[in-house]
């Protein structure tokens, strides 16, 4: 952290006088590549709605953790999300219902369960608002450290497994004929998303998380012609909107998460106008 503070001292930005702005900026610099990369696969694998459902299940996990009086509700939440993701994978592989229908079933169940547990015995809901709306400005150094660990883990996972995941996402039948265990690949990716979403949600909130998981990939897809460009654009868009959103929100006095999400939406709109129409 001291290196980071030293770098911040060198930057001629008035907003970096504040410790919380420094933390938020560092968190964004870690989150942008993390979610930029995951976003490419979520969009290719048509799982954007699923990541949203996972966010809700993470919230339910946190509610359960709080009720159990667990010292670290996040740990309980990770376990709950993993169970949720694995159960979803299992049901999807054995049901002939469309994936979005099943996601709807799981998502509403998770949310209902979360609210039910949180309000059980007349409990107040307000203490959970942090998780639903979240605030990147309140991110703590320990949480930033955790984001860094998650980023490294995802990069390692990606460098080993991304080829197989891509093939599974674009053509499961072809993947299986090349000896790739399709079901296992899908489950692994689902589990990875579940862990990342749950670990990040308590520090940054659901709103920014979902927009960072879907919009960079969606925008990059508008203009990318191959996987390299796809990943590159996605990470660059996430970085650009993260930083610009944070700066704008500071000077205009708006919510940082919402500003970042809107900035991503703007990038999507611009790339949509320049989308590839040719081969």
- Which residues form the interface with other proteins (CB under 8 A)? 40, 44, 158-159, 162-164, 166-167, 170-171, 173-174, 176-178, 220-221, 224-231, 279
Specify whether the CB–CB gap between 213 and 32 falls below 8 A. Answer: no
Q: Which is nearer to other proteins, 208 or 218 (CB)?
A: 218
Q: CB 196 → other proteins: shortest distance, Å?
A: 18
Shortest Å distance, C-beta 215 to other proteins: 15
The closest alpha carbon to 181, from 106, 89, 104, belongs to 89
The nearer residue to other proteins, 4 or 157, going by C-beta atoms, is 157
Residues 6+ apart with CB under 8 A from 249: 255, 256, 258, 259, 260
Closest separation in Å from C-beta 178 to other proteins: 5
Q: Compare residues 22 and 231 and give the one whose CB is closer to other proteins.
A: 231
- Which run of H or of E encompasses 151? helix 141-170
Q: Which residue, 125 or 272, is less far from other proteins as judged by CB?
A: 272
CB 154, min distance to other proteins, A: 12
Q: Distances in Å between the alpha carbon of 221 and those of 73, 92, 189?
A: 36, 26, 20
Question: Is 122 strand, coil or helix?
Answer: coil
SS3 139: coil
């Amino acid at each position: 952290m001291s290196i980071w503070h030293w770098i911040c001292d060198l930057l001629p930005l008035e907003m970096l006088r504040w410790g919380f702005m420094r933390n938020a900026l560092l968190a964004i610099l870690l989150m942008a590549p993390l979610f930029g990369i995951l976003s490419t696969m979520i969009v290719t694998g048509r799982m954007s709605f699923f990541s949203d459902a996972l966010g809700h299940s993470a919230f339910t996990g946190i509610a359960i953790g709080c009720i159990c009086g667990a010292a670290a509700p996040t740990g309980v939440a990770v376990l709950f999300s993993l169970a949720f993701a694995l159960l979803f994978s299992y049901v999807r592989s054995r049901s002939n219902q469309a994936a979005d229908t099943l996601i709807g079933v799981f998502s509403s169940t998770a949310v209902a369960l979360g609210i039910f547990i949180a309000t059980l015995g007349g409990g107040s809901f307000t203490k959970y608002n942090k998780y639903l709306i979240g605030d990147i400005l309140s991110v703590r150094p320990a949480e930033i450290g955790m984001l860094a660990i998650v980023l490294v883990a995802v990069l390692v996972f990606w460098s080993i497994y991304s080829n197989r995941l891509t093939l599974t996402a674009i053509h499961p039948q072809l993947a299986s004929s090349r000896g790739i265990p399709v079901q296992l690949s899908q489950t692994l990716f689902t589990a990875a998303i579940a862990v990342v979403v749950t670990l990040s949600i308590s520090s940054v909130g659901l709103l920014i998380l979902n927009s960072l998981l879907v919009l960079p990939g969606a925008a990059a897809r508008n203009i990318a012609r191959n996987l390299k460009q796809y990943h590159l654009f996605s990470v660059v868009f996430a970085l650009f909107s993260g930083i610009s959103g944070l700066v704008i929100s500071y000077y205009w006095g708006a919510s940082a998460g919402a500003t970042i999400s809107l900035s991503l939406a703007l990038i999507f709109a611009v790339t949509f106008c320049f989308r590839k129409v040719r081969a």
